[in-house]
């Protein structure tokens, strides 16, 4: 097993136990190690993606744009520009002579065609090399069209996804402060770091509305340019998925003094805590009472159902590998509710503090890993005899190939996993995969003696 771990990566893997906790992270991915990470551009793209009334133009060769076409489950209640994939599709001559002209023309064309509220322009790796002046082109087009045109400095090689989050926040921050903030209530918030996958933000907004809290801007799930422009008028920034949007919250705090709280909407405690934290912030007992009432009502529905799942799932083992570590905290707790134990947990871009926290909330023996790869992940899954793996598209075939259940918990998913309803869905998802009879058929569970014997190895049977 250990042969599957690169010498250079030993420090990025920790087994909770005797040794004092130390985990290296925030490193460039090891060349040749098939990291599950994407790039800076990917980070920017995922954060800004759900802003549905803006044109998102990827300045670069075609791949970067085409691989991000309509890939997220981020829903919009209105316009759906975010689901289109726009590219300048740079060609050889653009690479040689520069792509600014093409970028300018493409922007004008798209803005004419779609009349968006704003345009985001993403730079990709080669744009960083050929040296197009994005800033200048955006400025010109903004002047010509009268809408904000925002460069996103997301050259893929300039760090990892987290650098992309920052670039996205910097771009969004240019919008903040340009909208009218009259008529915003005293009890108002911005929701940051929820991307409205499968409609989650609508659920969360509904909870807040029931508490009497006004939501000014969704950042960025079901997001709108005009809301972001006036989000500095909200009394509080409520940040989930801190990696992705914390930079924006900090920028707003610096300039406008808006306080920030960190929350998570995944899992029972975290969801309830989020509502209480907002109520406590406003020091409004009535609001707190409403929050408690919401939690009571929701749990009344949720808990009896969970019981059934818990009975079936108790004692099963789970592994988690996600993009940002924040999600992993909530997942560890959510699995506890189902009577399950997390035996491996990792993330693409966690920070020292993130991993420290994971170390604190996990059990002895749990493997904690940063920026992992298929070889390591598969060996961990086998070693720990995992029953279900939680991750994204790239993790799924690893689990399935080995005959292990899987739960999608990424940006592509179509199931709502946030809020109390989300906890129910999560339990159903886990149950629906773990309890399938298909696992009785996979080689992992078949004694050799019961397997059919092939006369010719399968791979050469054709000839």
Partner 1 sequence: MNPTPDISHENNIEFLATPPKNRTRLKGDEDPKQRSESDTPGGKQVDNEAGKRAGETPGSLPRGRGQMPKYVSTTNACKLCKPLGACLAFRGIEGTVPYLHGSQGCATYMRRYIISHFNEPIDIASSSLGEKNAIYGGGANLKQGLKNVSDKYHPQLVGIATTCLTETIGDDLKMIIFEYKKEVPTDQPLPTLITVSTPSYAGTHMEGFHAAILSVLSSLCEKTPAHDRINILPGFLSPADLRLLKEIMTAFALPATILPDISDTLDGPALDEYQMIPAGGTPLAEIRKMGGARATIEFGSTLDQKSGGKYLEQTFEVANHRLTMPIGIKATDRFFELLENLSGENTPARYLGARGRLIDGLVDGHKYVFGKRAVLYGEEDLVVALAGFLAEIGVQPVLCASGGKSGKFQATVAAVTDGLCEDAPETYEDCDFHEIAERAEALAPDLIIGHSKGYQLARKLAIPLIRVGFPIHDRIGGQRILHIGYEGAQQLFDQIANAMIQVKQDRSPVGYSYM
Cα distance between residue 117 and residue 148, in whole Å: 7
Tell me, residue by residue from 380 to 409, as one string, x for binding to partner 1 by CB under 8 A and - for no binding.
--x----------xx-xxx-xxxx------
CB of 129 vs partner 1, minimal distance in Å:
5
Cα distance between residue 123 and residue 146, in whole Å: 22
CB of 459 vs partner 1, minimal distance in Å:
4
Residue with tokens 């190690």: 33
> Do the bridges between strand 317-322 and strand 260-262 make them parallel or antiparallel, or are there none, so unpaired?
unpaired
Cα distance between residue 172 and residue 59, in whole Å: 18
297, 337, 318: which is closest to 427 by C-alpha?
337
CA distances from 203 to 51, 54, 200 (A): 18, 23, 5
CB of 159 vs ligand SF4, minimal distance in Å:
11
CB of 128 vs ligand SF4, minimal distance in Å:
8
Query: Quick check: 185 and 215 in contact, CB under 8 A?
Result: no
Of 6 and 276, the one with the shorter C-beta distance to partner 1 is 6
Please choose which of ligand SF4, partner 1, none residue 194 contacts, taking the beta carbon within 5 to 8 angstroms, the exact cut-off set by kind. none
Residue 128 interacting with partner 1 (CB under 8 A): yes
Of 29 and 359, the one with the shorter C-beta distance to ligand SF4 is 29
Please choose which of ligand SF4, partner 1, none residue 234 contacts, taking the beta carbon within 5 to 8 angstroms, the exact cut-off set by kind. none
Cα distance between residue 374 and residue 16, in whole Å: 21
DSSP letters, 379-391, are: HHHHHTT-SEEEE
Please choose which of ligand SF4, partner 1, none residue 261 contacts, taking the beta carbon within 5 to 8 angstroms, the exact cut-off set by kind. none
Q: Which of residues 409-448 bind partner 1 (CB under 8 A)?
A: 441-444
Of 60 and 233, the one with the shorter C-beta distance to ligand SF4 is 60
DSSP letters, 163-185, are: HHHHHHHHHHHTTTTSS--TT--
CB of 215 vs partner 1, minimal distance in Å:
30
Phi and psi (nearest 5°) for 95?
-65, -35
Beta bridge partners of 215: 189
CB of 88 vs ligand SF4, minimal distance in Å:
11
CB of 122 vs ligand SF4, minimal distance in Å:
8
Please choose which of partner 1, ligand SF4, none residue 363 contacts, taking the beta carbon within 5 to 8 angstroms, the exact cut-off set by kind. none
Interface residues with ligand SF4 (CB under 6 A) are 39, 41, 60-64, 124-125, 156
Of 95 and 361, the one with the shorter C-beta distance to ligand SF4 is 95
Cα distance between residue 15 and residue 17, in whole Å: 6
Give the distance, in angstroms, between the CA of residue 204 and the centroid of all CA atoms in the same chain.
Answer: 17
Residue 88 interacting with partner 1 (CB under 8 A): yes
Helix runs in 314-418, H state only: 325-337, 352-361, 374-383, 396-401
Residue 361 interacting with partner 1 (CB under 8 A): no
Please choose which of partner 1, ligand SF4, none residue 336 contacts, taking the beta carbon within 5 to 8 angstroms, the exact cut-off set by kind. none
Cα distance between residue 405 and residue 39, in whole Å: 28
Of 37 and 316, the one with the shorter C-beta distance to partner 1 is 37
24, 79, 98, 130: residue in contact with partner 1 (rule CB under 8 A): 130
> Do the bridges between strand 341-347 and strand 149-152 make them parallel or antiparallel, or are there none, so unpaired?
unpaired
Query: What separation, in Å, do the N-terminal and C-terminal C-alpha atoms of the chain show?
Result: 34
DSSP state of 224: -
23, 25, 48, 57: residue in contact with partner 1 (rule CB under 8 A): 57
Judged by phi (left if over 0) then psi (alpha if -120 to 50, else beta), residue 418 lies in beta
Binding residues for partner 1, rule CB under 8 A, total: 85
Of 39 and 251, the one with the shorter C-beta distance to ligand SF4 is 39
Of 243 and 267, the one with the shorter C-beta distance to ligand SF4 is 243
Tell me, residue by residue from 136 to 165, as one string, x for binding to partner 1 by CB under 8 A and - for no binding.
-------------------xxxxxx-----
12, 44, 76, 87: residue in contact with partner 1 (rule CB under 8 A): 87
């Amino acid at each position: 097993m250990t042969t599957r771990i690169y010498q250079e990566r030993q420090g990025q893997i920790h087994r909770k136990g005797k040794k004092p906790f130390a985990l290296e992270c925030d490193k460039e991915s090891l060349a040749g190690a098939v990291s599950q990470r994407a790039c800076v551009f990917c980070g920017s793209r995922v954060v800004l993606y759900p802003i549905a009334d803006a044109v998102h133009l990827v300045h670069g060769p075609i791949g970067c744009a085409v691989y991000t076409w309509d890939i997220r489950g981020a829903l919009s209640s209105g316009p759906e520009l975010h689901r289109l994939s726009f590219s300048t599709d740079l060609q050889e001559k653009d690479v040689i002579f520069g792509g600014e002209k093409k970028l300018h023309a493409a922007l004008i064309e798209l803005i004419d065609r779609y009349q968006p509220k704003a345009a985001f322009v993403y730079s990709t790796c080669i744009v960083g090399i050929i040296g197009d002046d994005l800033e200048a082109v955006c400025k010109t087009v903004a002047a010509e069209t009268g809408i904000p045109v925002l460069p996103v400095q997301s050259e893929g090689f300039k760090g990892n996804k987290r650098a992309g989050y920052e670039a996205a926040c910097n771009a969004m921050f240019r919008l903040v402060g340009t909208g009218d903030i009259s008529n915003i209530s005293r009890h108002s918030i911005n929701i940051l770091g929820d991307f409205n996958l499968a409609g989650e933000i609508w659920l969360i907004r509904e909870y807040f509305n029931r508490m009497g809290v006004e939501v000014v801007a969704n950042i960025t799930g079901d997001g709108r340019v005009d809301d972001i422009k006036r989000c500095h008028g909200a009394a509080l920034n409520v940040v989930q998925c801190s990696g992705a949007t914390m930079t924006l919250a900090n920028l707003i705090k610096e300039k406008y003094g808006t306080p920030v709280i960190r929350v998570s909407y995944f899992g029972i405690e975290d969801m309830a805590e989020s509502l209480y934290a907002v109520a406590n912030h406003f020091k409004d007992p009535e609001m707190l009472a409403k929050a408690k009432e919401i939690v009571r009502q929701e749990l009344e529905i949720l808990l009896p159902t969970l019981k059934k799942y818990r009975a079936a799932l108790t004692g099963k083992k789970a592994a988690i590998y996600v993009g940002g570590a924040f999600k992993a905290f909530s997942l560890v707790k959510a699995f506890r509710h189902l009577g399950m134990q997390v035996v491996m947990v990792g993330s693409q871009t966690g920070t020292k503090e993130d991993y420290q926290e994971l170390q604190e909330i996990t059990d002895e023996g749990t493997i904690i890993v940063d920026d992992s790869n298929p070889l390591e992940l598969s060996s961990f899954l086998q070693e720990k005899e995992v029953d279900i793996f939680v991750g994204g598209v790239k993790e799924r075939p690893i689990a399935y190939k080995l005959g292990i259940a899987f739960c999608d918990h990424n940006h592509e998913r179509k199931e709502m996993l946030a809020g109390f309803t989300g906890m129910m869905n999560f339990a159903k998802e886990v149950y629906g995969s773990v309890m399938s009879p298909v696992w009785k058929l996979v080689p992992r569970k078949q004694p050799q003696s019961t397997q059919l014997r092939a006369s010719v190895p399968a791979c050469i049977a054709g000839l």
